Amino acid sequence: MKKTLKLIGIIISSLIALLLVAVLAIPVLFNPKDYRGEIEQLVSDAAGRDLSINDDIELSLFPWIGITIGRVTLANSAAFGTGQFASIERAEVKFRLLPLLSQQIEASTVILHGLRLDLSIDDQGVTNWADLAGGQPEAPPVQPSDQALSATISESDGSSGSTGLVLLAIGGIQVKDAQVNYVDHANDVRYAINQLNLETGPLTLGAPLDVFLSSQFEASQPAIRGQIEFRTLIKADLANERYRFDSTTLNATLNGSDLPGGQAVVTIAGDIALDMAQQTAAVSSFKLSSYGLDLSGELNFEQLLSDLIFDGNLHLAEFNPKTLLPALGIELPETTDATALNRIQLAFALSGSATQYKLDQLVLMLDESRIEGALQLGMSGAPLPAVRYDLTIDQLDLDRYLPPPVDETADAVAPVVTPAIAGAAVSTLPLETLRALDLVGNLNIDKLKVSGLQLSALRTKVHAADGIIRMDPLSALLYQGEYSGEMQLDVRGDQPRISLNESVMQVHVGPLLKDYMGEDKVSGVGTMQVTLTAVGETPAAITKSLNGTANIAFVDGAIKGFNIVQMVSEAKAKLKGRPVPSVSAEMRDTDFAELTASFKIKNGVVNNRDLSIKSPFLRLGGDGQVNLVNETINYLATIVLSKTNEGQGGGELDELRGLKLPVRVTGTFAEPKFKPELSDVLKVQAKAALAKEKAKLKAKARAKLDQLKADEKAALKEKIAAEKARLERKAKEKLKALFGR
């Protein structure tokens, strides 16, 4: 900006100097040709450079005193060698005669044709105009009145008097086919302005001035060329240093290989009020258009020549990014929803300074989403700006903006990503960028869809400084439950360290899994608590170093598509060579009243020892591990069937009730395998049945033996009794014989 102002000043100074040549010549010239040498010497002495008037000077008289000068050249600074600094092909100015008699200047249109100005800076940073800028001491400025501008030109004639001329009006200024070259050898920069044409309306004190300018230009850094047209209406209050530039327009066509599409057409319009006494400026009815973008609003500036501050309101009209950005050479990624990124509109109040920018009353429309709030950027010389924000989004469907799935038919199981785990993904960013973050902000989203999940009342607060990034607190409502969490990323060391603490309370798991995975393999009301730490800057490193604990609890749910009782029944039938029993619709799930488990995670391996599933018809426990690094499973679930005949499975497994039935779970996350290990159970059952049968046979044999012994004893008693009776009878017979009776 300073170089531009200096350049404009040099051009204006050169124009005034050339005009002064004509003005100074009028009082002394009768035959201008006779005084050409004196004019050349006068200017050469004043400027310290050679002035050459190569063509004749023509003078006209009544009713206008006019002077026309042909080709005039002003030599370059001696330090820059031969060559010219400035030249004109022709200059013409006419003054009305009668006002001059009253020491008043009233001029017709001042014409300057073929101006050429060559500005240069050498390798040491020395300019070829330095000697012109710092030569003679300045005269005290003349303060103009409210009605007129007093311009006093003094001519010394050896007396003590002077002639004072008052400038009343000029019919206008025409600069045709001017050229300005600027070469900076120290920085290897070149600029050129060609075919510069300037035309003004009449210059009358207190009256507006129309100004029109057009030119072509070319620059080396950046490599760009083009043409511009500028128009404005100037109103000046010179006494109070107030200026207005109304109906100002700038139309530019820029060409360059670095521009999107190789060309940019820019239109700027507005009204400018400038108060140099107060060092303020105001731009109203501001409009800027380029590449299909239309920006409008108003801006106010203060402390123009010191520490600039500004404020205003800007509005970016609705545009289609899918049409605009490819035209700018920016390829948009393909989105799942082809209608996404079709509409953006922005409005905000702007304030700040050279080191701070603040956007208030921010309203961004992105498709159907409305984003409101405030944003502040601080430029303190750090690698990244300090960012402060407070934003609210009414609704946002992130899934619309994600790339379409590579294979929609793939039956892969996606890992559950909670908000804090998603936040931890920033560990894949460059560490230097993360260490430089200076960020404090709040983000509230009323409705959010991400990875199919429906969340509401999402609240996040982020604080990043000195290499520590915290997201705390995090909260959301989801599926009739609540989520809360916190996450910290520490990038001060060689490897980033991540820690997170999350909990999910009373969430209806079935609808959640249905939205997230497309099917609800588990239903019920669940609660989860996770505390994790990890080290690494890539997902693989994070997973490998994952450590922590987790606890889950579900009630009144079901494991769908997996019926434990039916699985056991099928395995038993196969082992015994029987037909596999049919499965009814109500037998496809495993209902449970309660499911609980706790986990310990060490170096990416999850261990569980206390899985417990309870239902009216079974009890299930578990012991094993899941390897998150290679995504494999090695788990042994132990099933105990209820002794009651009610519930799933009926009475067909009565013989297994009360036994512990192991089920081995192996395979990968994508393809888990379930294998009941019933062979040992059935062997135990067979041994038990055999022992029971042996006990029955033994009891029967013992009973039979006891019966046999009882029968033999009774028979023996009968035999003894009979033998005794026989002996007694025989003894009686012998007694009778003995006694003769």
What is the pairing mode between strands 166-184 and 104-113? parallel
- State yes or no: pLDDT of 145 exceeds 80: no
- Predicted pLDDT at 521: 76
149 confidence band (pLDDT: 50, 70, 90): very low
Instruction: Choose between 542 and 8: higher pLDDT.
Output: 542
AA letter at 239 = A
Mean predicted confidence (pLDDT) in 530-540: 90
As a whole number of angstroms, the distance between CA 166 and CA 148 comes to 8
Mean pLDDT for the stretch of residues 534-553: 91
- Ramachandran area for residue 671 (φ above 0: left; ψ -120 to 50: alpha; else beta): beta
Of 117, 50, 54, nearest to 85 by C-alpha is 117
Phi, psi dihedrals of residue 599, rounded to the nearest 5°: -135, 145
Residue 37 above 70 pLDDT? yes
Q: How many CA atoms lie within 13 A of 232 on its CB side?
A: 18
The SS3 assignment for 465 reads strand
What's the pTM? Answer: 0.73
Assigned token pair, 224: 């760009």
- 256, containing H or E segment: none
Residue 576 has what pLDDT? 61
State the average pLDDT over residues 373-402.
92
User: In sequence order, what are the residues at sequence separation of 6 or more whose Cβ sits closer than 8 angstroms to the Cβ of residue 664?
Assistant: 635, 636, 637, 674, 675, 676, 677
pLDDT at 584: 55
Q: Is residue 180 predicted with pLDDT exceeding 80?
A: yes
Neighbours of 270 (CB within 10 A): 22
Give the pLDDT confidence score for residue 378 in this predicted structure: 92
Please tell me the predicted confidence (pLDDT) of residue 160.
40
**Segment 587-608 mean pLDDT:** 87
The answer, yes or no, to whether residue 266 has pLDDT greater than 90, is: yes
pLDDT digits (tens, 9 = 90+) for 169-179: 788 889 999 99
pLDDT of residue 16: 47
What is the predicted pLDDT for the residue at 46? 73
- Predicted confidence band of residue 163 (pLDDT cuts 50, 70, 90): very low
Q: Residue 423 has what pLDDT? A: 45
Residue scoring higher pLDDT (221 or 39): 221
- Dist. CA 613–CA 277, nearest whole Å: 83
Whether the per-residue pLDDT at 356 is higher than 60: the answer is yes
pLDDT above 90: residue 193: yes
Distance CA 533, CA 418 (A): 15
Question: N- to C-terminal Cα distance for the chain?
Answer: 172
Show Cβ contacts of residue 571 under 8 Å, excluding neighbours closer than 6 positions.
676, 678
424-436 mean pLDDT: 68
570 pLDDT tier (thresholds 50, 70, 90): low
Angstrom distance (rounded) from CA 160 to CA 528: 102
pLDDT of residue 255: 94
Helix H, strand E, coil C: the string for 84-133 is EEEEECEEEEEEEHHHHHCCEEEEEEEEEECCEEEEEECCCCCECCHHHH
Q: What is the mean pLDDT of residues 650-663?
A: 63
